[in-house]
Amino acid sequence: MLQAVVTPTSLGDLRKALKLAPKATLVAGGTLVMPIINEGAHGISTLVSLSKLGIDAVSFKKGIATIGAAAPIAELARHSELKFLSAVIDSIGSPTLRNMATVGGNLFAYGDLAVCLVALDATAIVVNAKSKRSAPVEEIIKKGVKAGELVTHVSFAIPKPGTFKYAKASRRALNSASIVTVAAIIPLVKGMVADCRIALGGVAAKPVRAKSVEKLLNAKLFDEKTVRAAAAAAAKEIAPFTDAYASAWYRARVTPVHICRALLGDAAGKS
Amino acid sequence: MKGSVVSITLNGVERETLVAPGTTLLNLLREHQSLTGTRRGCDQGSCGSCTVLVDGKAKLACLIPVETIAGSRVETVENLALNNELHPLQQAFVEGFATQCGFCTSGMIMAAKGLLSVNPRPSRADVIRAISGNVCRCTGYESIVDAILAAAAGMGKPLKKSA
Amino acid sequence: METIDTSFFTEERAGSFNTVGTSTERADARGHVTGRTQFYEDVSFPNTLHLKMVRSTKHHALIKKLDVAPAMKVPGVVRVLTWKDVPNNWYTILKLIGVGPDDEPVLAEDRVRFIGEQICAVLAETPQAAAEGAKRVKVVYEELPPVFDVEEAMTSKPFTNHGSNYYIYEGHNCRRIRFGDVETAFKQADHILECRYNSAPIEHAPTETTGCVVKPEGNGRYTIYSNTQALYFTLDNTALILGVQFNKLRMIGGTVGGGFGGKVDVIVEPIATLGAMLTNRPVKYAYSRAEEMQVSSPRAAERFYIKDGIMKDGRIFARKITLYVDAGAYCRHSTYGTTKAAAHMPGPYTIPNVHVDAYCVYTNRTPSSAMRGFGVTIADFALESQMDQIARLLKMDPIEFRLKNAYRDGDMKAHRKEVEGAALVEVLQAAAKQSGQKLSSEFLAMSSYGWGSANGKA
Amino acid sequence: MAKLKGRGVAAVNYPTGMNLGGDPSQALIHATTTGSFVVTLSSVDLGQGLKTVIAQIAAETLGIPYDSVMIDTADTDTGPHCMGTFASRGTHRIGNAVIMAAREAREVMLNVAATELEVDAADLVTDGKGRIHVNGAPDKGIGVLDVALAAHFKHGNTISGRGIFLKPKSTPVPETGEMDPDSCQAHACTIAEVEVDDETGVVRVLKLTNGYEVGRAMNPALAHQQIVGGAWMGISHALYETTEPYYPDRAHGPLDFSEYLMPGPADLAEMESVIIERPASNGPYGAKGIGEMTANSPIPAIANAIFDACGVRVTSLPITPEKVLRGLDALQAVNPV
């Protein structure tokens, strides 16, 4: 049963709190942890809240966005520099949930924003009791953080206009979990794809890079034929699962469809 | 297990409450402050029935450990009909037949209030988005969306008083 | 908002009223919008104990050992109720209208028959202590093979304690409807169309979960604040289960956060009342959302086989229906729903030869029960999908095809009740009109007043 | 990719009440000293509006304003028996019980008024606004308030009434299924228009056009609520809902409102509904039960529209994108484009 809830106001306080309760569970927006707390019999004795640590700011410098891990997702919508993410933000939970759910929470829940961060080649800033390091978000997702570490910020270069692509397939139009999420950066040089990054969510336990799709696109003319052929290669990258929303078969079956839609727009192939 | 005293400005009045660790805002409202208008539909953040405003923003009371919002302002549905005058949202829900069982109503109204405070002239799509985390099992949502739009249109000028 | 097309049945509907027919403001609307409406959970009493149920984690298993001692060690846990505490542990909800046998235990005894079945109830000072206590109760199972398919269940080894995996209707293994002679009619029919239809269980998903608070009044009486859809059903069953006089119990309710049939079962009240009796303290038992979703009775999954004999002119001549209703592990209201389904056949059409076998079948899943459209909703999906297939087979307009077969006043239904007050013809005409579809004069002239009679329009 | 459009029809009937054990409900009515009327029940309002509609029925029969009626439900210490709120029985059964009780109370009220006015009770009418007067002579009248006061304090009369509606038990004949299970039938027809995404199997319901026959709409706005909410549930059942997504496999049962799928406010269909009324001979002012029926016709109408759109006949509910897509794939395999 829960014995304490601590709300540190500085990283120093946080370190002290974690020293006293090394097995404490971190909570930020509460959307992931509190349902477990409310269900009871969870074995959690200390909650440490990240909400007042002061890691909830969004800032921009020389085309680089730096976002505090405790920033509510709704906060992202307030910055014109992040307008390219508006469809992403809109696709995550509801406005009420977005007032609570945080960037860091989405990262570790392997949510749609995490998929975008992989596509954006974002960097995570990680602190522990003594030091600070940075690591690609992609790596953090793959390997997790070490005991005692905390992701405080993520940062990424704002993509060139028109290069960021996103599509999410879900069972409801709004506030619905992902069946397939596609996020991509597709830079074009004279109509040719130059070093693209494509990330997929909902089709494996964690967000994955669709490297074989990227390979088939790079240095190719960006047209429907190329994209369709490349999208089919995604099958190699995914490890789809079955849940209440869709079966593994369905996820695999429609993954190329949604890659095409993300990259080409909904009108793809309408003839 | 040690309790702590948490101070929250609740519907305009500062209230100090002794709570057990991890007490949710929903439990504080319902069990400690007898503000039962905020409903418990899931305790998971999945139904929206407990939507309240925390520092002006719509949030789910069931997901908030009160220790983490000490010093905040919380507004619940009980704060809307002051001086026996229904708030325009409430009036629009009544006139628009936007309630059936009534269990989701408080949350719907508070989510709508959160929307209107930042976007007083919302589009239909804005309203739909604002209540997309609130489950209604009775109405099919249409009347609720209509009522919120009617309230937004009528705010600032008094709505027709029904008999 | 609401349009009433008064051009249908104009004479019959004539009348002058003061308040009937008026869109009066809802009596409860102001309470709802101000949050003042009082639902059962809005009452609270000092010293209330919270009840958390220990549930089966197996589809079908023998309980080899039940150890509640570890739960009692959790600070705040006051008592654990097991089947031995329940005076009349076996019951069935429809006992009050003469339906038997008692097929369901309030708390499981030597075995469990579905995941989520109630095994024992932990009563504690806080919901947290109750949950912790429930987690620590030790149940040792010996698993038995479960059955999940309704047709397989018909012939598999019975797991119920009444000898068959289906309900016996007065000596028959199904509820029967026999009208005309379908087999002879099939031989005479121009076309035969057969199809299977089925559904998965559906949850009522009311926004307010099922629950109650029971308060001992100190005078030997207990007040049950509940969101049941049927107060007396609950009161009477609770008294029977607990072996107390009916007048020891008082139910207060009437304001419910959505029901849809999901709050007709009598699950939470008997055990919460028992807890209140044995501890002399108020007891609250509210389903969590997860319990509401998976443990409360859903709408039954159903499987239909429909075989139709159809004549070239578009008349359905014979309809044979075999229906399997997946009751889950216990009967609850399913026997009644199955009969209701049988009575609904063959749909709102006049068909001279009808044969229905409706089976109420037990499987090792959450017992199903009543839900909005009980016995009818899934049947309508099957029947009307079938009607569409026939219309396509005959290359007829789907509305005209239905008009040709729609029942009229004076027709005899398959369960031998004469039709009166029919209006299928008119809703088809009204929907066609509303959608802009022009019906030919032959179909516009049709009426529920009878075959070949002038229609009910002014 | 193409969005394939289709149209489907379905028509249904629905029984009011379901009676296999006798199906009664009772009501008690009494006047307060000041001419309000209390209807005492043990009936449950699930949100369908029982408390409103029953008050309307009581006011209509008593001949008094709607505002003068109070519904007192539901406490088994005071409220007389009610079978419960299910089987589309509430308005019909309780409405009938209330009419019976209200007639009895009205008779007492008119008798007291007749005594006060020194006229024959048979000559009195109510104006529905709180006054009782001699038919044709609105001036020769008395307020309900004064009648109630007189009944209590002068005459020692209780203005009250008792009502019950009972549909007696019908036992099916085991061999043939002959039975009389219900009181009347309501009717509905839905024409559904859908759009099927041929690459994903996703179905969008564009529009439902509905005709509903309800006996008589006691409160058209509340009938409309049942229609719109019920049709929404129909869409939900058709395309989304189940506790066992891979039935009869028990795995992956949803535990919350995220996993338990229902259309949200952004997934609604345009809806156009028309009500027609054929009053039931045994219904209160002709009302039939409609609460359950409203969910039924949209389901097959949507299934039929999907077939019309893309040639896939899905015969199992819910009609998930996966089932549609597997159907499209099967068609493609047989008939490659």
Q: Which residues fall within 8 angstroms of residue A94, CB to CB, at 6 or more apart?
A: A174, A175, B48, B129, B130, B131, B132, B133, B134
Q: Which one-letter amino acid corresponds to residue D57?
A: I
> Are B63 and B110 in a shared domain?
no
In chain A, domain spans: 4-49, 58-157, 164-264
- Whether the model clears a pTM of 0.95, i.e. scores above it, the answer is yes
Where does D67-151 show beta strands of DSSP type E?
69-72, 124-126, 131-134, 137-143
Chain D, window 105-134: residues with a beta carbon less than 8 angstroms from a chain C beta carbon: 128
Residue of A nearest to D322 (CA): A250
CATH T-level assignment (fold) for domain C175-202+298-422: Aldehyde Oxidoreductase; domain 4 (3.30.365)
Q: Which residues in chain D touch residue B112, judged by CB atoms under 8 angstroms apart?
A: none
Chain D, window 155-214: residues with a beta carbon less than 8 angstroms from a chain A beta carbon: 199-200
Q: Which residues in chain B touch residue C42, judged by CB atoms under 8 angstroms apart?
A: 30, 36
Q: Please, which pLDDT band fits residue A249 given cuts at 50, 70 and 90?
A: very high
> Are D34 and D163 in a shared domain?
yes
The pLDDT of residue D335: 84
The pLDDT of residue A148: 85
Tokens representing C252 are 């207060």
Which candidate from C44, C257, C288 shows the least CB-CB separation from B103? C257
Chain A, window 227-266: residues with a beta carbon less than 8 angstroms from a chain B beta carbon: none
Q: Is the pLDDT of residue C291 over 80?
A: yes
By residue range, what is the domain housing residue D188?
3-16+183-334
Residue D173 within a domain: no
Q: Could you say which of D167, D200, D234 is where a domain stops? A: D167
The pLDDT of residue A268: 53
In chain C, domain spans: 1-37+426-458, 49-142, 175-202+298-422, 211-294
Q: Please, which pLDDT band fits residue C162 given cuts at 50, 70 and 90?
A: confident
Residue of A nearest to B57 (CA): A99
Query: Are B58 and A95 contacting, i.e. CB atoms less than 8 angstroms apart?
Result: yes
Task: State pLDDT tens for residues B104-117.
Answer: 999 999 999 999 99
Task: State pLDDT tens for residues D91-150.
Answer: 999 999 999 999 999 999 999 999 999 999 999 999 999 999 999 999 999 999 999 999
> Are D72 and D203 in a shared domain?
no
D184 and C19 in contact by Cβ < 8 A?
A: no
Q: Which residues in chain D touch residue B143, judged by CB atoms under 8 angstroms apart?
A: 225, 228
Residue keyed to tokens 């297990």: B1
Q: Are strands B73-75 and B4-10 parallel, antiparallel or unpaired?
A: parallel
Mean per-residue pLDDT over chain A, rounded? 95
Query: Are A92 and A171 contacting, i.e. CB atoms less than 8 angstroms apart?
Result: no
Residue of C nearest to B21 (CA): C128
In words, the CATH class of domain C211-294 is alpha beta
Query: Are C275 and C310 contacting, i.e. CB atoms less than 8 angstroms apart?
Result: no
Query: Measured between alpha carbons, how far is B149 from A271 in angstroms, rounded to an integer?
Result: 38
Instruction: Please choose, from the candidates D263, D334, D259, the residue with its C-alpha nearest in 3D space to the C-alpha of residue D302.
Output: D263
Task: State pLDDT tens for residues D85-96.
Answer: 999 999 999 999
Q: Is the pLDDT of residue A145 over 90?
A: yes
The pLDDT of residue D336: 81
Q: Is the pLDDT of residue C454 over 60?
A: no
Residue B89 within a domain: yes
Residue of C nearest to B143 (CA): C1
Residue keyed to tokens 């932990």: C122
The pLDDT of residue C453: 58
Q: Which residues in chain D touch residue B128, judged by CB atoms under 8 angstroms apart?
A: 265-266
Residue D260 Cα to chain centre, angstroms: 26
The reply to whether C211-294 shares the fold of C175-202+298-422 is yes
Task: State pLDDT tens for residues A113-126.
Answer: 999 999 999 999 99
**Average pLDDT of the segment spanning C63-89:** 98
Task: State pLDDT tens for residues A199-216.
Answer: 999 999 999 999 999 999
Residue B161 within a domain: no
Nearest-10 Cα torsion for D214, D218, D221, D225? -50
Mutate to test the interface with A, among B28, B55, B63, B66 (most CBs of A within 10 A): B63
> Are D91 and D231 in a shared domain?
no
Task: State pLDDT tens for residues C256-270.
Answer: 999 999 999 999 999
CATH number of A164-264: 3.30.390.50
The pLDDT of residue C26: 98
Q: Which residues in chain B touch residue D231, judged by CB atoms under 8 angstroms apart?
A: 140
**Distance, in angstroms, between C375 CA and closest chain D CA?**
10
Q: Could you say which of D110, D136, D167 is where a domain stops? A: D167
Residue B159 within a domain: no
**Average pLDDT of the segment spanning C125-151:** 98
Which candidate from A3, A35, A47 shows the least CB-CB separation from B65? A47
Q: Please, which pLDDT band fits residue C457 given cuts at 50, 70 and 90?
A: very low
> Are D136 and D222 in a shared domain?
no
Compute φ and ψ for D217, nearest 5 degrees: -80, 110
Whether chain B has a CB inside 8 Å of the CB on D151: the answer is no
Say whether the peptide bond before residue D318 is cis (omega within 30 degrees of 0).
yes
Whether chain A has a CB inside 8 Å of the CB on C134: the answer is yes
Q: Is the pLDDT of residue A256 over 50?
A: yes
> Are D148 and D261 in a shared domain?
no
How many independent structural domains does chain D possess? 2
The pLDDT of residue D21: 76
> Are D156 and D95 in a shared domain?
yes
The CATH code of the domain that includes B19 is 3.10.20.30
**Distance, in angstroms, between D228 CA and closest chain B CA?**
6
Q: Which residues fall within 8 angstroms of residue C49, CB to CB, at 6 or more apart?
A: C78, C123, C124, C125, C130, C275, C279, C281, C282, C283, C284
**Distance, in angstroms, between A41 CA and closest chain C CA?**
4
Percentage with pLDDT > 70 across chain D: 99
> Are D296 and D157 in a shared domain?
no
Q: Could you say which of D167, D195, D220 is where a domain stops? A: D167
Q: Could you say which of B17, B42, B77 is where a domain stops? A: B77
Q: Does the domain formed by C49-142 have CATH 1.10.101.10?
A: no
> Are D28 and D161 in a shared domain?
yes
Which candidate from B46, B90, B136 shows the least CB-CB separation from C33? B90
Q: Which residues in chain A touch residue B133, judged by CB atoms under 8 angstroms apart?
A: 93-97, 175
Q: Is the pLDDT of residue C73 over 50?
A: yes
Whether chain B has a CB inside 8 Å of the CB on D264: the answer is yes
D258 and A174 in contact by Cβ < 8 A?
A: no
The pLDDT of residue D160: 98
**Distance, in angstroms, between C338 CA and closest chain D CA?**
12
> Are D161 and D34 in a shared domain?
yes
Q: Is the pLDDT of residue D313 over 80?
A: yes
> Are D126 and D219 in a shared domain?
no
> Are B42 and B56 in a shared domain?
yes
Q: Which residues in chain B touch residue C257, judged by CB atoms under 8 angstroms apart?
A: 39, 41, 101-103
Whether chain B has a CB inside 8 Å of the CB on D46: the answer is yes
CATH of A58-157 given 1.10.3720.10, 2.40.50.140, 3.40.190.10, 3.30.465.10: 3.30.465.10
The CATH code of the domain that includes D316 is 3.30.365.10
Q: Is the pLDDT of residue C455 over 90?
A: no
Query: Are C292 and D253 contacting, i.e. CB atoms less than 8 angstroms apart?
Result: no
Query: Are D13 and D186 contacting, i.e. CB atoms less than 8 angstroms apart?
Result: yes
Q: Are strands C118-124 and C138-143 parallel, antiparallel or unpaired?
A: unpaired
How many independent structural domains does chain B possess? 2
Mutate to test the interface with B, among D225, D233, D273 (most CBs of B within 10 A): D225
Q: Could you say which of B35, B57, B77 is where a domain stops? A: B77
C128 and A2 in contact by Cβ < 8 A?
A: yes
Q: Which one-letter amino acid corresponds to residue A216?
A: L
**CB under 8 Å, gap of 24 or more: what pairs does A12-20 form?**
A14/A48, A14/A50, A14/A53, A14/A150, A15/A129, A17/A46, A17/A48, A18/A48, A18/A129, A18/A148, A19/A129, A20/A46
By residue range, what is the domain housing residue B149?
82-154
**Average pLDDT of the segment spanning D166-192:** 95
Question: Hey, which chains touch D, using 3+ CB pairs under 8 Å?
Answer: A, B, C
The pLDDT of residue C98: 83
Q: Which residues in chain A touch residue C294, judged by CB atoms under 8 angstroms apart?
A: none
Residue D172 within a domain: no
The pLDDT of residue C441: 94
> Are B16 and B66 in a shared domain?
yes
CB atoms within 10 A of CB C392: 16
Chain C, window 102-141: residues with a beta carbon less than 8 angstroms from a chain B beta carbon: 126
Whether chain B has a CB inside 8 Å of the CB on D220: the answer is no
Residue D178 within a domain: no
**Average pLDDT of the segment spanning D46-55:** 97
* Check: complex ipTM more than 0.95: yes
Residue of C nearest to D77 (CA): C250
B97 and D222 in contact by Cβ < 8 A?
A: yes
The CATH code of the domain that includes B140 is 1.10.150.120
The pLDDT of residue B156: 57
Query: Measured between alpha carbons, how far is A136 from A155 in angstroms, rounded to an integer?
Result: 10
> Are D159 and D196 in a shared domain?
no
Task: State pLDDT tens for residues C310-351.
Answer: 999 999 999 999 999 999 999 999 999 999 999 999 999 999
